Structure 1
Amino acid sequence: MQHTRDKDAILQLTNKILPKLAERIHANLSAVTPLFEDYKLEKVTDTWTKDPHADDDTEISIENGNVQQVGLKLRLEGFNRAGADAFDLNKNLIFKLELYDYSVGSGTGNSWLEKPYLENWSDSEVDEIAVNWVEELIEEITQRVAGIGE
C-alpha cells in the first residue's frame, strides 16, 4: 500500500533527509563559500501554498500533513573578488510534495529524483542530488561573474 503525504512523511523528509542533504551540500560548497562574505543554508517549509484538494479552513502545517513544499534555501552574500561586480545569490532545493510521492529539484522546472513517501534514501541518491544542485549553483555564480544573466 502506498503511503500518502501526512505528518509522518513530511517529518521524515524534514528531520532525516534534509539534514543529510544539507551536510553533503555544505561539504560540496567548501570551495565556493570563501568567495562570499556570508553564507546561510537553512530548512524551509512552505506554509503559504494551499493544497488544491484541501478544505479552505485547514491551516497549512506539517502537523496537518498538508504542506506542499519543503526544502533548503541557500543565501550567499557579498561576492567580493577583484574585477567582478559584488553580488548576492539565493538558491533553493525544493521537495514538491504530491499525494503519494515527491520530487526533488531546484525549482526551475527540473526534477532530479522522484520517490514514494517513507522510502529510504541511499547514500548515492544523497550524493547525486547534492552534486546536481551544487553544479547548478556554480554555473549560476560563473554566469554572474561573467556578467551573463544579470
Structure 2
Amino acid sequence: MEYPNRDKQAIQHLYNTILPTLAEHIHQSILPILPLFDNFGLERIIDTWTRDPAAEADTEVSVENGNVQQLGLKLRLEGFQKPGVETFDLTKDVLFKLEYNSYTVGPDKNNSWLEKPYLQRWEKSEYELVAGRWSEELIDDLTQRLEKLT
C-alpha cells in the first residue's frame, strides 16, 4: 500500500485520531502517579512556529497548509504533595516530528521510539510501547526531582 506524504489530511489524522488515543494510553499508565499531585493536564499541541527549511519564507505554518513540523502531547503535573517536600510541578512532552514522508515519535527532537508512515494504523502494542517508555521517563524525572529535594 502507498502511504501519503505529509499533508493536511495526514496531520489532521494524527491530531484528531492518534493523539487522543495515545493520550488515553498515557493517562492509564500514569494513574498511579496522579494522586501525588494537586492537578494535572494533558493536552494536544501543534507547533506552528517551526518553519520547514525548504518552504517559502512567507508560507504560513498551519495544518491547512500541511506543513506543520511537530505536534504532540504536553503533560503538566502541578503541586506535588508530600509532607516535608517543597511542592513542585513537572511537565513532559511526547513529540511527533513530521518528516516529509514519515514521522517519528519520542520525548524530544533528538530521540525517537517509533517511526511510521502517514495514515498507517497504530497497533495497540505501539500505543503501549510509547505510553510505557514515556511514563518510565516521567517516573525517572520525578525520582530525580525527589532525590534533589531530600
TM-score bracket, normalised by the shorter chain, equals over 0.9
CA displacement 1:15-43 (0-9 Å, x = unmatched):
11101100111111111111111100000
* Preserved CA contact (<8 Å) 2:102 2:116: yes
Distance 1:130 1:60 in 2: 28
Distance 2:25 2:119 in 1: 20
Match of 1:83 in 2: 84
Tell me the amino acid that sits aligned with residue 138 of structure 1: I
Match of 1:50 in 2: 51
- 1:57 deviates by 1.1
* Preserved CA contact (<8 Å) 2:3 2:119: no
* Preserved CA contact (<8 Å) 1:85 1:145: no
Distance 1:45 1:81 in 2: 34
Distance 1:108 1:31 in 2: 28
- 1:109 deviates by 2.3
Pairing of 1:47-126 with structure 2 (within 5 A):
47-107=48-108, 109-126=110-127
Q: 108-117 or 138-147: which moved more? A: 108-117
* Preserved CA contact (<8 Å) 2:95 2:109: no
Match of 1:15 in 2: 16
How many residues in Structure 1 have an aligned counterpart in Structure 2? 148
Tell me the amino acid that sits aligned with residue 145 of structure 1: L
Same amino acid, percent of matched pairs: 54
- 1:108 deviates by 6.1
- 1:122 deviates by 0.2
Distance 1:119 1:45 in 2: 20
Extract unaligned runs of 5+ from structure 1.
none
Tell me the amino acid that sits aligned with residue 145 of structure 2: R
Q: Determine if the alignment matches structure 1 residue 32 to structure 2 residue 20.
A: no
Distance 2:71 2:28 in 1: 21
- 1:135 deviates by 0.6
Match of 1:137 in 2: 138
SS in 2 for 1:24: helix
Two-structure CA RMSD over aligned residues (Å):
1.2
Structure 1 stretches of 4+ moved >6 Å: none
- 1:2 deviates by 4.3
Tell me the amino acid that sits aligned with residue 119 of structure 1: Q
- 1:91 deviates by 0.5
